Chains A and B, each alone.
Chain A
Amino acid sequence: MRGATTLSLAHADGVKTVARHAIGLRYPTPVRVVGRSVPRKEGLAKARGRARYVDDLRFPGMLHGRTIRTAIPSGELLGVRFDFDTAGFTVVDHRDVPGRNVVALIQDDQPFLVEREIRHAEEPVLLLAHEDRDALRAASVHLDCRSSEPVLDPERSPRAFKEIAIEKGDLARGFAEAGVVVEGEYRTGRQEHVYIEPQGVIAVPGAGSVTVYGSLQCPYYVHKALVALLGLPPEQVRVVQTETGGGFGGKEEYPSIVAGHAALLALKSGRPVKLVYDRLEDMAATTKRHPSIVRHRTGVAGDGRITAMEIDVLLDGGAYCTLSPVVLSRACLHATGPYRCENVRVRGRVVMTNTPPSGAFRGFGAPQTVFAAEVQMDRVAETLGLDPAALRAGNALRPGDTMATGQRLGEDASALAVLHEALERSDFHRKRRAWTGTGRGIGLSLFFHGAGFTGSGEVTLASRATLELTPRGARVLVGSTEMGQGTRTTLAQIVAETLSCPLERIEVAEPDTARVPDSGPTVASRTCMVVGGLLKACAEEMKGRLGGLSPSAYLRRHGPLTVTKQYEPPPGIAWDDATYRGDAYGTYGWGCDVAEVELDPVTYEVRPTRVTAVAEIGRAVNPLLAAGQVEGGTAQGLGWALLEEVVLREGRMANAQLTNYMVPTTLDTPPIDVTILESPYRQGPFGAKGVGEMPMSGPGPAVANAVRHLGLDVRSLPITPEVVLECASSSTESEETSTRPR
């Protein structure tokens, strides 16, 4: 426990040093808290059971809500029959919508409540509320529906939500230069977020207004959706984030629907309504990671230099558009992997099927295409008889290289640094040689992740952050939410160090749309880098305005002080949405994973025994919290790689329970050896880039490549025993590799 002791002492000492000066007029001692693993602000409240989540709240006269859903994937709703006495119930259908019956997001295609058309098997039709949960559960409703033929296979979908093309160089010339062309098709499945706290909100009606408290990532997304649904002026809608028990993207867009439903019930009944999903409903009805089919055609010169990459990306968007166009965008922008190539064509399509909508999930399309790219790299290495690490090192992006969009990389392009660190740390080459032909395998993946919104997204968002002077220090006012990733603590650390103010004197206000500005959604690994950057600018200005006075002295002399900053793009950033040319992201994080696995020869289970994870994230504002993102993201990636399989039957999830949808337990999760590399990003606060999503991309391909090391040609996730069995029995099948003369 020596290391842990060091942490607490170091922290206590920092506090003491500053406290000596706190009674004076100012804080002359620099406060050094950035780069230190201070404990998370709300940690003890959570660990003592005092933190209040939405289901822990009760309001006088509160009703409970329930959603009645369709059960067929495609068709028409003809009528509704109540098989219970509706007295004492509040019943809402689409005719009760005062505003527009669409979830306002990208395309206004998804209704809050079905009117006639049914596009998937979990569509909400009716809402019920009652004060007694048992009576509510017992209520039986019959839906009279006419079925039509559903589209369940994305390859046969007649309808695309979005198509993207990225072109660089001359593909024909690139293939002409190639000595070898390797082709392959890679597939990944749906993944359920399994935040341990299910979706839930409480809506409280007021006089011509409504307040929603809920478990959510993006208060202003919910606000926008409620304003459109309820037809209320924006100031009459208030959204407050309660302590949130995990999100991972699952509480990015879906809470708008839960909040809308609860608000409709609250406004009709005139009473507060709590709508909290049980696990089954949450798993069956809410969004999943987009399933993918990615095809690669790679031209390689005899020396291992990649001369051409032709990549086709297909994502299954499910029944409604949700965020699919942006997910496709990130998928396509990461499809080449972190490699340089002069001749590239990426074509992407996200299509409609009659399944519950796919949506945001940590990584946001990148893990799917990185999986394909990285397994393809190992197959290229095999074809050429090259070491997979050497092939990657030879082709990895370096500072000054241009990516498929023409973006030129800065000095913080660390693909080679993470690769070398992971190889050394894991003793990759020795194990690779020693384990060949045994029941153990080792594989690696090299990956990257654009930090912040894609393309012109950050400019469009125009996020704002506010810092307010308090008698003791300052209060952070942002719409960014804490959902476990450490927002409260890291943002406070940035402000404390910039203001030279003790960390415990920095408060972080509850995200409440009545009080905080719109700082953009808490997604895309953007909070620390973008919102943290705005707060750093706020704190710098505040420090200047204080002019050496302590906060209380300033307030006495000059009155209240608040500073607000709005996002402005760093100089030299340009992006064209029409041509997909330019700087897709301000910067990138870089990662390399090495997975070690064992194959059980009897059960065909693949068991990970150790993962070495190296992540270059600019600067770790709080190393312990940053490492926590890597550890947790790696475990979630291992689940996607080996265990987690959403089984759909007739467009419905057949295993919507934690009994048969398996997420990693303590026994499924191996030791994860994390190294964080720092290569400061000039535009990030104290050099920080994003970290949250990137760790999701590495484990899938690293595990698949470790299984490949065992001699099994795996090209899909999850790698269940059934998949291993199939690979083992078809290992003699013909290769898709063609070698041709130059």
Chain B
Amino acid sequence: MRFVLNGKRRDVDAAPLRRLLDVLREDCGLTGTKEGCGEGECGACTVLVDGAPVNSCLVPFAHVRGRTVTTIEGLRSRLPEALVREGGTQCGICTPGVLMAAAALGRRPSAARVREALAGNLCRCTGYAGIVRALAGARAVPRPRVRHAGPPVRDRRPSSRRSARRGEARPVEE
């Protein structure tokens, strides 16, 4: 069956009802697309079909006949670098799916748009903070800060006096 995979024409001999996920991973050797649940809930297997994100675990291979499929291996984007820089990938198993869902968004989406578009991609590591920072811009969510705890507090003190004695907070990037 013919389709376009990551910009190249392919003819793959696979049963029409096999999951697109399995054909990509096993027949095409593209293991960047991951299986997390097999029931379309976690989004780890997200790929683009004609530019739209789908859960490839729910798509029979026959559905992509004559269509264009893009996987993480075919993603032409700097989004992966941004995701790494902002702490949006930890264990990494959801990351290719997150990036494929994100690739379908336009440039500089709002934080609300990112949250809506990625609601079908479960990440158990990051609390989505780094993901939203990477995709919607660094100011879209609170930035983590680091500061010195100051001298040990031995007893109750008015908070204003204490904060004056502590080091100023700095964002984690500095």
Nearest CB in chain A to that of B82: its residue = A4
* Contact of A125 with B by CB under 8 A: no
Q: Could you mark each residue 71-92 of chain B with 1 if its beta carbon is under 8 Å from any beta carbon of chain A, else 0?
A: 1110100011111111101111
The answer to the question of B95 belonging to the interface, with a C-beta cut-off of 8 Å to chain A, is yes
Given A658-B37, A667-B115, A677-B147, answer yes or no on A39-B152 (Cβ-Cβ < 8 Å).
Answer: no
Specify the chain B residue showing the minimal Cβ separation from A393: B156
Tell which of B44, B129, B144 touches A196, judged by Cβ atoms closer than 8 Å: B44
CA distance A635 to B147 in the complex (A): 22
> B residues within 8 A CB of A658?
37, 39, 41-42, 122
Chain A min CB distance to B77 (Å): 10
Question: How far is B35's CA from A196's CA once the two chains are assembled, in angstroms?
Answer: 8
A351 CB to closest chain B CB, in angstroms?
29
- Nearest chain B CB to A342's CB is how many angstroms away? 17
Q: Would you call A243 an interface residue if the criterion is a C-beta within 8 Å of the partner chain's C-beta atoms?
A: yes
Tell me if B91 and A676 are in contact (CB < 8 A).
no
CA distance A669 to B121 in the complex (A): 13
A663-B122 in contact given A484-B90, A658-B41 (Cβ < 8 Å): yes
A413's partner among B72, B116, B148, B152 (CB-CB below 8 A) is B152
* A205 interface hit (Cβ, 8 Å): no
Could you tell me the distance between the alpha carbons of A49 and B42 in the complex, rounded to whole angstroms? 17
* CB of A200, distance to nearest CB on chain B (Å): 10
Most A CB contacts (10 A, CB to CB) among B79, B82, B153 go to B153
**B36 to A196, Cβ gap below 8 A?**
yes
Among B87, B92, B173, contact of A625 (Cβ-Cβ < 8 Å): B87
- Whether A49 lies near B32 (C-beta < 8 A) is yes
What does the 1/0 interface line of A34-53 toward B look like (CB < 8 Å)?
00010110111111111111
Q: Does chain A have a CB within 8 A of B56?
A: no
Chain A 610-629 residues near chain B, CB threshold 8 A: 616, 620, 623-625, 627-628
Of the residues A247, A398, A672, contact of B127 by C-beta under 8 Å: A672
Tell me which of A414-422, A491-499, A575-583 binds B: A414-422
Q: Which residue in chain B gives the minimum CB-CB distance to A661?
A: B41
Closest to B127 in A: A635
Q: Is the CB–CB distance between A671 and B142 below 8 Å? A: yes
Flag whether B138 is at the interface (Cβ < 8 A).
Answer: yes
Name which residue of chain A comes closest to B18, CB basis.
A134
From the candidates A10, A193, A414, A665, name the one contacting B119 in the complex (CB within 8 A): A665
B93 interfacial contact with A, CB 8 Å: yes
CB distance from B157 to the nearest CB of A (A): 8
- B48 → A minimal CB distance (Å): 13
A212-244: CB near B (< 8 Å → 1, else 0) gives: 000000000000000000000000000000011
Residue pair B138, A3 in contact (C-beta under 8 Å): yes
Chain B 97-124 interface mask (CB, 8 Å, partner A; 1/0): 0010000000000000011101111111
Alpha-carbon separation in the docked complex, A678 to B145 (Å): 11
Does B51 count as interface, using CB distance less than 8 angstroms? Answer: no
Distance in angstroms between the alpha carbons of A679 and B167 in the assembled complex: 11
Residue B38, interface by CB 8 Å: yes
Instruction: Evaluate contact between B172 and A623: CB separation under 8 angstroms.
Output: yes
Residue on B nearest A630 in the bound complex, by CB: B144
Q: Which residues of B contact A633 (CB under 8 A)?
A: 127
Contact present for B93 and A245 (CB under 8 Å): yes
Q: Which residues of B contact A243 (CB under 8 A)?
A: 92
Task: Assess the B119–A666 pair: CB atoms within 8 A.
Answer: yes
Residues of A within 8 A of B171 (CB): 3
A394–B87 CB distance below 8 A: no
Q: Is the CB of B159 within 8 A of A420?
A: yes
For B25, what are the chain A residues with a Cβ–Cβ distance below 8 Å? 56
State whether the Cβ of A115 lies closer than 8 Å to any Cβ in chain B. no
Tell me the minimal C-beta distance from A481 to chain B in angstroms.
11
Q: Which of A3, A40, A416 contacts B143 (CB 8 A)?
A: A3
Minimal beta-carbon separation of A87 from chain B (angstroms): 24
CB distance from A616 to the nearest CB of B (A): 5
Inter-subunit contact B124/A49 (CB<8 Å): no
Q: Give A391 Cβ to nearest chain B Cβ, in Å.
A: 11
Q: A197 at interface (Cβ–Cβ under 8 A)?
A: yes
**Residues of chain A contacted by B116 (CB below 8 angstroms):** 666-667
In the bound assembly, the distance between CA atoms of A485 and B125 in angstroms comes to 8
In the complex, residue of chain A having the shortest beta-carbon distance to the beta carbon of B120: A665
Q: In the complex, what residues of A have CB within 8 A of residue B149's CB?
A: 414, 417-418, 616, 677-679
What residues on B are CB-neighbors of A483 within 8 Å?
91
Partner of B92, one of A4, A8, A484: A484
Could you say which residues of chain B place their CB within 8 Å of the CB of A387?
none
Flag if A2 contacts B71 (CB, 8 Å): no
Determine the chain A residues whose CB is within 8 A of the CB of B33 once the complex forms: 49
Of B41, B92, B118, which is within 8 A of A47 by CB?
A: B92
- Chain A residues whose C-beta falls within 8 Å of the C-beta of B38 in the assembled complex: 278-279
For B159, give the chain A residue with the smallest CB separation: A420
Known: A394-B156, A675-B147, A679-B148. A197 touches B114 (CB 8 A): no
Q: Is A466 an interface residue (CB 8 A)?
A: no
* Distance between Cα atoms of A37 and B146 in the complex (Å): 11
0/1 string, B134-170, CB within 8 A of A gives 1: 0001100111111111101111110100110010010
Q: B22-45 vs A: 1/0 string, CB under 8 Å?
A: 000100001111111111011010
Residues in B neighbouring A663, C-beta threshold 8 A: 122, 124
Tell me whether A47 and B119 are in contact (CB under 8 A): no
Interface contact B127-A669, CB-CB below 8 Å: yes
- Knowing A398-B155, A631-B129, A669-B128 are in contact, say whether A1-B137 is a contact too (CB < 8 A): yes
Q: Contacts of B31 on A, CB cut-off 8 Å? A: 49, 52-53, 55-56
Q: At the interface, yes or no: B96 with Cβ under 8 Å from chain A?
A: yes
Contacts of B163 in A (CB 8 A): 420, 424
Q: Is B49 an interface residue (CB 8 A)?
A: no
Most buried by A among B84, B137, B149, B171: B149
B85 in contact with A411 (CB, 8 Å): no
Is the CB–CB distance between B144 and A245 below 8 Å?
A: no
Chain B residues closer than 8 Å to A400, beta-carbon distance: 154
Closest to A639 in B: B124
Closest to A282 in B: B37
Q: Which B residues lie within 8 Å of A630 (CB)? A: 144
B26 to A, closest residue via Cβ: A58
Q: Which of B75, B125, B166 has the most CB of A within 10 A?
A: B125
- Given A484-B91, A678-B147, A627 contacting B152 (CB threshold 8 A): no
Top 4 nearest A-B pairs by Cβ distance? Answer: A49-B32, A46-B92, A245-B93, A484-B91
A residues contacting B by CB (< 8 A) are 1-4, 6-8, 10, 37, 39-40, 42-53, 55-56, 193-198, 243-248, 278-279, 393-394, 398-400, 411-414, 416-418, 420-421, 423-424, 483-486, 616, 620, 623-625, 627-628, 630-636, 657-659, 663-667, 669, 671-679
Instruction: Enumerate 15 A-B pairs (CB-CB under 8 Å) in ascending A order.
Output: A2-B138, A4-B133, A7-B173, A46-B89, A197-B34, A246-B90, A279-B39, A399-B154, A414-B149, A624-B130, A631-B87, A635-B126, A669-B128, A671-B129, A679-B149
